[in-house]
Amino acid sequence: MDGTGIINRDALILVIDDEPTQRLLSREALEQRGYRVEEAENGEAGLALARQLKPALILLDVMMPGMDGFEVCRRIRVDPDLSRTPVVIVTALEDMEAIEIGFKAGATDFIAKPIIWPLLGYRLQFALRAAEMETELVLARDEAERASTAKSVILANMGHELRTPLNAIIGFSEYLRDQNNAKDGDQQTGEFLEDICFSGKRLLSTINDILEMANLEAGRVQLDENILDMSTLLAGILGRHQREAADKGITLEIRKTATELFVSADYDVLRRAIGHILSNAIKFTSTGVVSISLQDLESGELEIAIIDSGVGMTAAEVQAIVEPFRQADNSLSREQQGSGLGVPLAKALIKLHNGEFEITSEPDIGTTVSIRLPADCRRKNPGDSHVEDPS
Q: In this structure, which amino acid lies at residue 161?
A: E
**Cα–Cα distances in angstroms (integers) from residue 302 to residues 33, 60, 292, 346, in the given order:** 64, 54, 13, 16
Residues 344 and 359 sit within 8 Å (Cβ to Cβ): no
| Same fold for the pair 12-139 and 225-379 | no
At residue 218, the pLDDT reads: 74
Superfamily holding 12-139: Response regulator (3.40.50.2300)
User: 30 or 154: whose pLDDT is higher?
Assistant: 30
DSSP-assigned letter for residue 115: P
pLDDT, tens digit, for every residue of 216-250?
A: 877 778 889 989 988 889 999 999 999 889 988 99
- Cα 338 from chain centre: 22
Query: What is residue 328's predicted lDDT score, i.e. its pLDDT?
Result: 55
Q: Which residues pair with 88 in a beta bridge?
A: 59, 109
CA–CA distances in Å: residue 251 to residues 101, 275, 293: 63, 16, 14
Separation between Cα atoms, residue 248 and residue 335, nearest integer Å: 15
DSSP type of residue 375: G
| DSSP per-residue codes, 34-71 | T-EEEEESSHHHHHHHHHHH--SEEEEES--SSS-HHH
**Segments making up each domain of the chain, as ranges:** 12-139, 158-217, 225-379
Give the model confidence (pLDDT) of 318-356 as tens digits: 888 888 766 655 444 445 555 678 899 999 999 999 999
Mean pLDDT of 166-172: 91
Quote the CATH superfamily of domain 225-379.
Histidine kinase-like ATPase, C-terminal domain (3.30.565.10)
Identify which has the larger pLDDT, 167 or 150.
167
Q: In residues, how long is the chain?
A: 391
Per-residue pLDDT band for 6 (boundaries 50, 70, 90) equals very low
Residues 298-302: contacts with CB under 8 Å, at least 24 apart: 299/375, 300/374, 300/375, 300/378, 301/356, 301/372, 301/373, 301/374, 301/375, 301/378, 302/230, 302/261, 302/263, 302/372, 302/373, 302/377, 302/378
Strand 57-61 versus strand 225-229 pairing type: unpaired
Report the predicted TM-score, pTM, of the whole model to 2 decimal places: 0.58
